[in-house]
Structures are given as structure tokens and as C-alpha cells.
Amino acid sequence: MDKNKSLFKYNTFGIDVVAKYFVSFSSLDELQNVTATNSFKLEKLLILGGGSNILLTKDFDGIVLKNNIKGINILKETKNDVALEIGAGENWHQLVMYCIDKNYGGIENLSLIPGNVGAAPMQNIGAHGVELKDTFVYLEAFNIRDRKIEIFKNKDCEFGYRESIFKKELKNKYIITKVVLKLSKHSHKINTNYGDIQKELEALKITNPSIKDVSNAVIKIRKSKLPDPEQIGNSGSFFKNPVISKTIFNQIILKHPNIAHYVLDNNNVKIAAGWLIENAGWKGKTISTYGVHKKQALVLVNYGGTSGKDIYELSCKIIKDIKEKFNIELEREVNVI
Ligand code: EPU
């Protein structure tokens, strides 16, 4: 176990805070051993995967547990599909690339999402019309209190828009160790409904896209809008797209007829938070070493040397401003620690 370890390298926002203790584990046995020590029971815990969805606002006075469980194995294979068992410490995008290479379909729309496989069910990652829950079968998670592995099937995870039971009732109670996905081997369900993908493929004159074509289009779109965390610190979308009632929406659209939105059902409308933030004048705003990304207003960025507190305070100002201007309450997508 390391003491007073900098977390700079372990969060994509590139925030430099110190953890009192830091330990990584690459197997269930190692995890069992770490959690058996007396000090473990007394300390606060932070479980880290790829560190791509957190904002660290202060030094962490406890143990940071870094999940490095690796491995991609075929659990079951039929003529039509394959069940893959993936270690939670595998990099998500590398898994997508592995699947494209083997012609396993289902997660190509989720190309280039930063972070590790274990974090994917945590917040039901999604992009371009597809969510993790669409291919997810079950996961194995280590119950921190009684130190046993438990199985959570798709239903048990209570997936929602960037939500799961692991962000709510079971927060900090389990460590996800393995994820099982069911992917197609042929006749893939190609999903190009999301506007940008269709446009991208049309520009390339591709009419009958393969999963690789879809993945390439998604990678191109993401690269054109989203900052690469290797170059500019960020955590992807900092806020969620808010869902509001039709009644409130009908009042807002009278004042803002161009508001970017998506009707979910008879009672609910999802609003593009990026549109709200851009139209409130925040897009591209820079305050010394941090600010709002120039090409996608949902993303807050750290150009280097910023504290998590500064970024957090910027997010508070944006939330307050959007409330005042549009009467909509923005919610953060990232975990603020
Ligand atoms: N928009 C603006 N200004 C902006 C950004 C967006 O006006 O600066 C409006 C535009 O009208 C645009 C619409 O919002 O047409 C939707 O924008 P986009 O397609 O970029 O998607 P998003 O709703 O902003 C969501 C996810 C992204 C995901 C994309 C594509 C959330 C919080 N974000 O963004 O996820 O990549 O859709 O599916 O749901 C992430 O979670 O980290 C992430 C990047």
C-alpha cells in the first residue's frame, strides 16, 4: 500500500490531489487480501477505475482502491452470438476495438468512451443512440461488507439514463470485478438513427455500414467535438441532459422556440444541456487555466494546474445561471469527491 500518493495520473481531469493510501489489485484474491486488513475497515474508500468520471476537489483522506482486474474471455458461444466475460479493469475503448476486430456487434456506437469496463455499468454509459444496458447480461461484484462475490443481472442493476443502483442505494458498497456482455456474431443490429452518424456515413457514401464503419464514424464525431483527455483534462459531459415535464417545457418553448430537445414520451422532454449552456453564453469561456470547452458546452476543461474546487465552483455558477435564465435545474454527471 502506497502512502501520500498523487492522484494526478489517475483522473482524466488531471487534478493533482493526494490520497492518504493507494493500493491496486489485479485479481479477486488480491482484493480479498487488501480488504482483510484491519486498517481497511477503519478508512474511507474511493474505488477508482479509469478515473474518467470524477472531479477530485480535495486530498482524499482514506484508501484509494485501483481496479486492475484484466481479461477478456468467451463464456459461451452459439451460432448467432457470444457472451464475453470482461475484467473490470480493462479499458473500455480497447474492448470495443477487440470486438470490432472479432466482428462482435453491439457496442460499436460506444467507441472512444474513456474509462474502464467496470465503470460502464456504474453509470450505464451511452452515446449515439446506444447504452450499455442494451448488451449487458450480468456483472460480478464484491460486497465490501461481507467480502463475497454477488451476481447482478440486467434488471438488478436498475439501469436508467446515466444511472444504476451502484450510483444510488448501493453507492460505495460493491466493487465491480467482471462484466458479461452478449454480442452478435452476424446480422448485426446496426444503429445509425442518431443524426450525426447518418450524416457522417452519407458523406463517405456508405449505404450498408459494417460495425467498423459505424465505429469509425463515431470516433470521427467524438474527435471533432470532445477534447482528448491526454491533451486537455476533462471528464466528458460534466452535466446530464435534464428531463423536464411537458407542462414546464410548453412554457419554456414559448420564450425559447429554438431550444434543442427530444420528446421522451407524453409527459417528459429531454433538453440538450449543451444548448442551454451555450445559449447562456458559457461556451468556450475560459478563466485562467480552466473553463467550458469551445466545441461542446457540456464539457468542462482543465488546461493544466487547476484545482478541482475551481472547476466545481464554475459548475455551481453555470447551474445557478441556467436556473435563472431557463428555470431548469442542471444535474452533474461526474462524481464530485
Ligand atoms: N448542443 C448545443 N451546444 C453545444 C452542445 C450541444 O447547442 O455546445 C445541442 C445541439 O442542438 C445538438 C444537441 O445539443 O444537436 C445534442 O448534442 P450532442 O449530439 O453533442 O449530444 P449531447 O446531448 O450534448 C450526449 C451525451 C454524450 C454523447 C452524445 C452523443 C449526455 C450528458 N451526453 O451529449 O456523452 O457522446 O450525447 O450520443 O448525455 C459523456 O457522457 O461523457 C458524453 C460525452
- Cα torsion 279, 281, 283, 284 to 10°: value is 160
At residue 42, the pLDDT reads 83
CATH classification of the domain holding 164: 3.30.465.10
Q: What is the mean pLDDT of residues 89-102?
A: 98
Determine the Cα–Cα distance for residues 135 and 138; give it in Å rounded to an integer. 10
**Could you say which of 29, 52, 67 is where a domain stops?**
67
The verdict on 46 and 186 lying in the same domain is no
Q: Which atom of ligand 1 is nearest to the CA of 125?
A: 41
State whether 134 and 215 are in the same domain: yes
Predicted confidence at residue 68, as pLDDT, reads 96
Out of 162, 164, 200, 332, which one is annotated catalytic? 162
Same domain flag for 80 and 218: yes
pLDDT tens digits, 192-211: 988 789 999 999 899 999 99
Residue 195 and residue 319 in one domain: no
Residue in 172, 27, 181 with CA at minimum distance from that of residue 89: 27
Average pLDDT over residues 116-134: 96
Q: What is the CATH number of the domain that holds 282?
A: 3.90.78.10
> The domain spanning residue 6 has which CATH number?
3.30.43.10
Sequential DSSP letters for 236-295: EESBPPPEEEHHHHHHHHHH-TT--EEE-SSSEEEE-HHHHHHHTT-TT-EETTEEE-SS
What ligand 1 atom has the least distance to the C-alpha of 333? Answer: 32
Query: Residue 1 has what pLDDT?
Result: 86
**Same-domain status, 88 and 147:** yes
**Same domain as 292, residue 173:** no
For 228-275, how does the pLDDT look when each residue is reduced to its tens digit (9 = 90+)?
Answer: 999 999 999 999 999 999 999 999 999 999 999 999 999 999 999 999
Instruction: Name the closest-CA residue to atom 32, ligand 1.
Output: 240
Q: Looking at the structure, tell me whether residues 201 and 139 fall in a common domain.
A: yes
pLDDT for residue 320 is more than 90? yes
The C-alpha cell of 304 is what?
Answer: 493544466
Residues 18 and 133 in one domain: no
Domain that holds residue 150: 72-225
User: Ligand 1 — pocket residues by CB below 6 A?
Assistant: 127-128, 225-226, 236-237, 240-241, 260, 272, 274-275, 278, 283, 296-298, 333
- Of 267, 282, 286, 263, nearest to 322 by C-alpha is 282
Say whether both 59 and 84 belong to one domain: no
Whole-structure pTM value:
0.94
Q: What is the pLDDT of residue 163?
A: 94
How far is the centre of ligand 1, averaged over its atoms, from the C-alpha of 299 (Å)? 9
One domain, residues 191 and 111: yes
Q: In percent, how much of the chain has pLDDT > 90?
A: 94
My answer on whether 210 and 304 are in the same domain is no
Which grid coordinates are listed for 254?
Answer: 414559448
Q: Is the pLDDT reported for residue 38 higher than 80?
A: no
Q: Are 149 and 140 in contact (CB under 8 A)?
A: yes
Domain final residue, candidates 43, 67, 91: 67
> Where is the domain boundary, 201, 225, 249?
225
> How many domains, in total, are found in the chain?
3
Is 224 one of the catalytic residues? no
63 shares a domain with 77: no
What whole-number percentage of the chain has pLDDT above 70?
A: 100
Q: What is the pLDDT of residue 99?
A: 98
